[in-house]
Amino acid sequence: MDLTTFWFITIAVLWVGYLVLEGFDFGVGMLMAVLAKNDKERRVLLNTIGPVWDGNEVWLLVAGGATFAAFPEWYATLFSGFYLPLFLILLALIVRIIGIEFRSKRDEPSWRMRCDAAIVFGSVVPALLWGVALANIVRGVPIDADHEYVGGFFNLLNPYGLLGGLVTLSVFLVHGAFFVGLKTVGEIRERAIALGLKVGVVAGALAVAFVVWTGFDQGSLAVWILGALTVSAFLVGMASAVAGRDGRAFAGTAVAIALLVATLFTGLFPDVMPSSLDAAWSLTTTNAASTPYTLKIMTWVAVVFTPIVIGYQSWSYWVFRRRIGVHHIPV
């Protein structure tokens, strides 16, 4: 395996980590609008992700940094062509951070209501737009001979891209519901599982449609196999939720998200950004990569620091592993 392929796989793994971990954060944020009945229950929802949500975002920063260093041509074309959707995602993430960090600074109900609205907004927008962006990258966008994006924002809002966005939005909501079921006790847990199962029916149907469309579009046996495994993992998660196996339910949706990302990156390889105008104008792992020397340095840095980051984050999840409920929330 050459270093360009290694870093393509590494970036795919970073996106898997980000979307699996931040996916349930987005799901819990969206549930603030529909699941909690009072302020105590909303505080319970926030406390389920409180110790880990900011650490989960590190995966996005590392994925962006790795793309910039390993494939600068990909980074330049992506961030210039997808400027508006990426700006909206960044804005939504900032709004969500403000809502989470400042919600407890004042006791007025109106203040907390505005913060809750910020959290919901900052969860819905990225959950939708990440799916739109990834779907468009895999299927191809208008890139000219100079490797510049020549389309507009509305080029990204095509049926396939929008379907990808609805898949991530709905699957993240189910993922978040099952995470709440894993982390809470009492009525809020029961309502979360019930809501997750209801939304899961819609999410499963959307996922099947998206996987089938991707399979026909890419025409790859590996894509078909990974797509089938994605749907299977999601169904296992749903069945586990019905059986009251909260851990397996959450693991099922986590594996489904990971396999969905693997499906998309498998369909993308060896391109990193296909051109819908001319295949010869596509960005690939070869023509978009940095120099071999740069990739070697990056590889050694990754070998040293990646285990440290994973170890620390795993330790934090272990420390905050216990379930919580409204009785843990002070008056």
Closest CA to 121 of 152, 92, 154: 92
Q: Which residues neighbour 308 within 8 Å (Cβ) at sequence distance 6 or greater?
A: none
Mean pLDDT in runs of 10 for the chain (331 residues)? 91 95 95 89 92 89 92 91 92 95 89 94 96 93 90 88 96 96 93 96 96 90 95 96 94 97 94 91 92 92 88 89 82 66
Question: Which pLDDT value is given to residue 23?
Answer: 95
What pLDDT does residue 107 have? Answer: 85
Angle (CA) 288 290 291, round 5°:
130
φ, ψ dihedrals at 216, nearest 5°: -70, -35
Q: Which among 81, 87, 20, 104 is positioned nearest to 313, based on CA atoms?
A: 20
Domains and CATH numbers, the chain: 15-308 (1.20.1630)
